[in-house]
C-alpha cells in the first residue's frame, strides 16, 4: 500500500519524504481545507521542483478540496499559469465543477476524489471512474467490509483511506459547526475547531449538570436518574456555553438516537494495516497538514516501518519499537473509527493532543571541514584578543574587569575547544534549550540516540563562542562526537507531562 502523508509547508514536505512517505499532499493558498496551514505560494514551486529531484521516486498530490463559490472559481482560473509551475501528480477535489477545467488544463495529472465528497458505495465509485477519476478517497464512515465490496465491483479504481489522525464530529469532515458558531466555514478552509472547545452544559432554568449531578441556583441537588436525564435531554432546555464566550448559549437537543457531541477520538489503524490491505485499500493516508514537523516525521516513520514489515522488507521485531513510538507523538485517545463498528467511532473524548516530548530543534546539515576550521579559528581569535586586552591593562583595571565578569558570567568569552572526533552541525532551534539539558536525536532509521548535557556544546557559528542556551532567534550549531544524519530531529522531555493523563486544552476555568 502507498503511504500518503501531509505537508503544510516546504519544511514538512521534505520531512515527509525523508521519513518514509511515498507521496505527500499539499494545499495551495485559498483553495484547500487547511487555510491556516502555511500551504504553498509565491515561488516555492522552485524549491519543490528541486525537492522532487532529490527524491525522484516520490509523488506530490495537491488538495483543491474546498467547496468552490463563483468567486473562488474565478480566482483559481486567474492563477492557472502559476499552478502549472508545480510538479503535481494528482489533484484532490470534491467539487465536480473543477473536473473538466482540470482535465483540460492539466491533461497529464490524475484526478482524485476528496473524502469530502462522501463516496461510500460501488455505484458512486463507478460514476467517478467514468468521469475520469483515477482514485477515490473514500468517506470516513465506510467499513472494511464495504471497501472489499467496492474493490471487487470496481477493481480498476484506486481506493485511498485515512489510517491515522484527527477526526471530526461531522459527515466525512463536512462540518457546519464552525460556521454556525464563529462564521468561519470549514468548507472554505477556515475551521475554528469548535468541537475541541470546552463547554458547560446548562439549561435556561439556571440548572447545570456535571458528573451526573444536578445543580440548581448554586445548591447541590441529588443525583439524577437515567429517565430524568433523558427527559431533560429531549426537553429542548439544554444549551452549551463555551468557557471563553460567556453569555453566548448554543442550543442542544437530543432525540431518540443519542448522538455523541463534539470532540472525537483520533484515528489509529497502525495495528490493522493487513486488514486494510486485504479489504482492497491501495493507499493509506495520514491526516495533519496543520500538525508540527515532529508529528509529520514521527507518524510517517512509524507507518513506513509498519508497511515495510507487512511487505516483508523488514521483520516485525525491527518495526515494533518504531510503531510503539507513536505514543511519543501528540495524540488524543485513539479509535479504529468506522472500519469495524460505528460504536467505536461514536465514542468521544476530552482533552488536547498530548506527548511526553517537546520538539527542541532540527539538524539541517553537517559543517564541512573548512567551515569547522573557520568556526574554531574565529573563537580562538576572539579569545586571544580578550587575553591580549587584559594583559595590556593596568593591574587594578584588569582586576575590576575580572570581578565584573565573575558577577556577570555572560560577559565571559567562552569558546569551543578542538576535540578529536567531534563535529559541528547546523542547528535550527525551535524551543529554548539550556546547555546541559539531556536531549534525544531521532531520525528516519534511528529510533532515538540520547545525548547527556556533557556530550555536546552549543556554539555560535559566526563567532565560535559557546552559548549557554539557544532559541529560535539564535544562529546556532551543536558540537558533539555523535554522528548526526541530516534531517535529524532533536527532542527533549516535557516536564509538565504526566504519564497516563491527557492534559486539558488549557481553555478551562481557573480555580
Please answer whether residues 277 and 1 qualify as being in contact, where contact means their C-beta atoms are separated by less than 8 angstroms. Answer: yes
Query: Per the structure block, which three cell numbers stand in for 469?
Result: 542556551
pTM score: 0.81
Residue appearing with cell numbers 574587569: 401
Q: Reduced to 3 states, what is the DSSP secondary structure of residue 285?
A: strand
Handedness of CA 413, 418, 422, 426 (dihedral sign): positive
**DSSP letters spanning 137-169:** E--TT--HHHHHHHHHH-TTSEEEEEEEE---S
Residue appearing with cell numbers 527524491: 55
Q: Which pLDDT tens digit goes with each residue over 230-256?
A: 666 666 566 666 666 677 665 555 544
Query: Per the structure block, which three cell numbers stand in for 130?
Result: 467514468
Whole-number pLDDT of residue 222? 52
Whole-number pLDDT of residue 198? 59
Whole-number pLDDT of residue 150? 98
* Measured distance CA(195)–CA(199) in Å, rounded: 10
* Measured distance CA(86)–CA(465) in Å, rounded: 42
User: For residue 407, how many C-alpha atoms fall within 13 Å in the half-sphere facing its CB?
Assistant: 5
Q: Choose among 323, 303, 293: nearest CA to 489.
A: 293
* Measured distance CA(16)–CA(22) in Å, rounded: 9
* Measured distance CA(287)–CA(266) in Å, rounded: 10
**DSSP letters spanning 37-100:** S--B-TTHHHHHHHHHHHSTT-EEEEEE-S---HHHHHHHHHTHHHHTTS--SEEEE--GGGHH
Please answer whether residues 98 and 64 qualify as being in contact, where contact means their C-beta atoms are separated by less than 8 angstroms. Answer: yes
Query: Per the structure block, which three cell numbers stand in for 491?
Result: 527532542
Q: Reduced to 3 states, what is the DSSP secondary structure of residue 263?
A: coil
| C-alpha dist (Å) from residue 75 to 99, 101, 187 | 16, 13, 17
* Measured distance CA(168)–CA(180) in Å, rounded: 15
Could you list the pLDDT tens digit for every one of the 511 residues in the chain?
A: 999 999 988 999 999 999 999 999 998 766 655 444 445 567 888 999 999 999 999 999 999 888 888 998 998 898 898 889 999 999 999 999 999 999 999 999 999 999 989 999 999 999 999 999 999 999 988 999 999 999 999 999 999 999 999 877 665 565 656 655 666 665 555 666 666 665 565 554 445 555 444 444 344 445 556 666 666 666 656 666 666 667 766 555 554 443 335 667 889 999 999 999 999 999 999 998 888 899 999 999 999 999 999 999 999 999 999 999 998 898 878 889 899 987 776 666 655 667 889 999 999 999 999 999 999 999 999 989 988 988 888 999 989 988 988 888 777 888 999 999 999 999 999 999 999 999 999 999 999 999 999 999 999 999 999 999 999 888 899 999 999 998 899 999 988 887 766 555 443 333 3
Give Cα 153 to chain centroid, integer Å. Answer: 35
Q: Reduced to 3 states, what is the DSSP secondary structure of residue 378?
A: helix
Please answer whether residues 329 and 296 qualify as being in contact, where contact means their C-beta atoms are separated by less than 8 angstroms. Answer: no
Whole-number pLDDT of residue 282? 98
E strands along 319-422, which residues? 334-335, 357-366
Whole-number pLDDT of residue 101? 95
Residues whose CB is less than 8 angstroms from the CB of residue 305 and which lie 6 or more positions away in sequence, other chains included = 20, 314, 318, 319, 322, 323
Q: Which pLDDT tens digit goes with each residue over 127-180?
A: 999 999 999 999 988 999 999 999 999 999 999 999 999 877 665 565 656 655
* Measured distance CA(220)–CA(213) in Å, rounded: 8
Task: Kindly report the number of other CB atoms within 10 A of residue 374's CB atom.
Answer: 15
Sheet holding 219-223, edge to edge: 219-223, 213-216, 207-210, 199-203, 238-242, 250-252
Query: Per the structure block, which three cell numbers stand in for 344?
Result: 467505536
Please answer whether residues 112 and 61 qualify as being in contact, where contact means their C-beta atoms are separated by less than 8 angstroms. Answer: yes
* Measured distance CA(85)–CA(442) in Å, rounded: 34
Q: Kind and range of the H or E element at 277? A: helix 273-278
E strands along 123-255, which residues? 135-137, 158-165, 199-203, 207-210, 213-216, 219-223, 238-242, 250-252
Amino acid at each position: 500500500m502507498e503511504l500518503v502523508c501531509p505537508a503544510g509547508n516546504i519544511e514538512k514536505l521534505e520531512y515527509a519524504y525523508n521519513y518514509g512517505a511515498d507521496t505527500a499532499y499539499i494545499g495551495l493558498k485559498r483553495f484547500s481545507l487547511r487555510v491556516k496551514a502555511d500551504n504553498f505560494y509565491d515561488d516555492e514551486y522552485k524549491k519543490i521542483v528541486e525537492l522532487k529531484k532529490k527524491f525522484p521516486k516520490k509523488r506530490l498530490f495537491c488538495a483543491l478540496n474546498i467547496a468552490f463559490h463563483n468567486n473562488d472559481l474565478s480566482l483559481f482560473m486567474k492563477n492557472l499559469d502559476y499552478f502549472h509551475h508545480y510538479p503535481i501528480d494528482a489533484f484532490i477535489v470534491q467539487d465536480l465543477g473543477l473536473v473538466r477545467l482540470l482535465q483540460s488544463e492539466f491533461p497529464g495529472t490524475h484526478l482524485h476524489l476528496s473524502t469530502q465528497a462522501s463516496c461510500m458505495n460501488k455505484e458512486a465509485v463507478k460514476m467517478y471512474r467514468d468521469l475520469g477519476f483515477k482514485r477515490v478517497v473514500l468517506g470516513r464512515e465506510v467499513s472494511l467490509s464495504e471497501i472489499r465490496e467496492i474493490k471487487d465491483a470496481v477493481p480498476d479504481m484506486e481506493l485511498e483511506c485515512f489510517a491515522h489522525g484527527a477526526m471530526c464530529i461531522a459527515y466525512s469532515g463536512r462540518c457546519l459547526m464552525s460556521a454556525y458558531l464563529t462564521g468561519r466555514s470549514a468548507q472554505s478552509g477556515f475551521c475554528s475547531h469548535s468541537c475541541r472547545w470546552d463547554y458547560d452544559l446548562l439549561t435556561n432554568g439556571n440548572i447545570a449538570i456535571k458528573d451526573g449531578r444536578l445543580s440548581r441556583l448554586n445548591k447541590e441537588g441529588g443525583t439524577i436518574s437515567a429517565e430524568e436525564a433523558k427527559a431533560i435531554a429531549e426537553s429542548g432546555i439544554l444549551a452549551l456555553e463555551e468557557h471563553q464566550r460567556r453569555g453566548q448559549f448554543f442550543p442542544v437537543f437530543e432525540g431518540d438516537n443519542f448522538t455523541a457531541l463534539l470532540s472525537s477520538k483520533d484515528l489509529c489503524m497502525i495495528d490493522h494495516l493487513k486488514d486494510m490491505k486485504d479489504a482492497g485499500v491501495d493507499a493509506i493516508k495520514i491526516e495533519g497538514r496543520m500538525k508540527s514537523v515532529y508529528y509529520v516525521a514521527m507518524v510517517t516513520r512509524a507507518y513506513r516501518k509498519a508497511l515495510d514489515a507487512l511487505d516483508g522488507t523488514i521483520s516485525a521485531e525491527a518495526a515494533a519499537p518504531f510503531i510503539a513510538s507513536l505514543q511519543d507523538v501528540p495524540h488524543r485517545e485513539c479509535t479504529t473509527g468506522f472500519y469495524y463498528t460505528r460504536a467505536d467511532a461514536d465514542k468521544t473524548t476530552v482533552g488536547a493532543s498530548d506527548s511526553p516530548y517537546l520538539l527542541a530543534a532540527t539538524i539541517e546539515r553537517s559543517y564541512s571541514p573548512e567551515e569547522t576550521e573557520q568556526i574554531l579559528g574565529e573563537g580562538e581569535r576572539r579569545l586571544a584578543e580578550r587575553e591580549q586586552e587584559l594583559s595590556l591593562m593596568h593591574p587594578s583595571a584588569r582586576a575590576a574587569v575580572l570581578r565584573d565578569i565573575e558577577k556577570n558570567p555572560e560577559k565571559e568569552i567562552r569558546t569551543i575547544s578542538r576535540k578529536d572526533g567531534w563535529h559541528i552541525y547546523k542547528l535550527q532551534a525551535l524551543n529554548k534549550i539550556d546547555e546541559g539539558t539531556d536531549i534525544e536525536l531521532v531520525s528516519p532509521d534511528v529510533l532515538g540516540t540520547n545525548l547527556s548535557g556533557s556530550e555536546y556544546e552549543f556554539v555560535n557559528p559566526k563567532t565560535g563562542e559557546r552559548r549557554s542556551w539557544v532559541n529560535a532567534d539564535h544562529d546556532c550549531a551543536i558540537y558533539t562526537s555523535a554522528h548526526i544524519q541530516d534531517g535529524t530531529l532533536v527532542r527533549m522531555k516535557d516536564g509538565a507531562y504526566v504519564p497516563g493523563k491527557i492534559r486539558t486544552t488549557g481553555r478551562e476555568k481557573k480555580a
